[in-house]
Amino acid sequence: MSIRSQFIIGISLCLIAGFSCERNADIQLKASQQSLVVEGIIESGKSPQIILTHSLPFATSYDTSVLQDLFIHHAQITVSTQNRQVTLIEKEIDTLPGILLYYYEPEENQHFKGIAGMTYQLQIQTEQKKLEATTTIPRRGFVLDSIWWEPTLSEDKKDSNKVFLMAKIFDPPQKKDYARYFTKRNNEPFFSGRVSVAEDAISNGKFFDIRIPRGVPKTLDIDSEDYGYFYRGDTVTLKFCNIDEKTYHYWHTWEYARSNQGNPFSSPTKVEGNIPGALGYWGGYQVQTKKIIIPK
């Protein structure tokens, strides 16, 4: 996952988190109360990265200056595992005219990379709060065996350019495996699917084939006629990640809340983060990738 695509997800998190709080205002938070929002990841083979922001109420009208003020600066952040600890420093990236986006990661010379099977403790100290959370990068879990493409079944010649991405996955005999996926199309960033997480409720000890819908930016509305497809001539990379149970529950509830946004008959959904005192999550990813070129 590129840091640019993470920022897209991170800003989306702020907006949806504020929306969830507003819908539960009589139970949890007053509409005017602002919360810390954390998006933290550590992937196998990569350094930890943290995005730290304030939440926004769903009804807030916002422009570039509001987005700029979301970020929390000068936080003291450390990540530790066993006998090693690293301090994260604040960095910035200019992705849009006039907008600097901020994140935290270790200095390059620290060489602190995620390792499958390890547990990582996150500590965040701001002017107002001290936050702590723990995640594990799974040692084992689902195995991404192979990927391929299949033509659509539509008889409409307009759809002849569309194809499905398919994957064969092995689920080991042990129970309680959890996964999340992302796709990359050509030179685009990695994006997660509309429903990006899964658990192994019925597939233990088996190979299974599954269709993988193309991932999309969380900040955009879904085009129902185009969602999920790839196209002839595309180069597609599938990133398939084993995750721990808390990371699964966070994204499962987040995506459910997102899908019910604007539905007056749906029940309020509490997004199940794993950082007491804040919204968001700290998640470990054991990453597997495969690439395919779909011929024209």
* Per-residue pLDDT reduced to its tens digit, 81-123: 988 999 999 999 887 666 788 999 999 888 899 999 999 999 9
Q: What is the mean pLDDT of the chain?
A: 83
Question: Looking at the predicted structure, is the pLDDT value of residue 10 above 60?
Answer: no
Question: Looking at the predicted structure, is the pLDDT value of residue 192 above 50?
Answer: yes
The candidate with the shortest Cα–Cα distance to 54, out of 129, 121, 1, 4, is 129
DSSP codes of every residue in 38-93: EEEEEEBTS--EEEEEE---TT----HHHHHHTB--S-EEEEEETTEEEEEEEEEE
Q: What pLDDT shows up at residue 131?
A: 96
pLDDT range class, residue 201, cuts 50, 70, 90: confident
Cα separation, 9 vs 31, in Å, equals 23
Ordered domains of the chain (ranges, CATH)? 3-139+244-287 (no CATH), 143-241 (2.60.40)
pLDDT range class, residue 169, cuts 50, 70, 90: very high
Cα separation, 171 vs 174, in Å, equals 8
Q: What pLDDT shows up at residue 16?
A: 40
Q: What pLDDT shows up at residue 263?
A: 54
Q: Model-level pTM?
A: 0.84
Q: What pLDDT shows up at residue 26?
A: 35
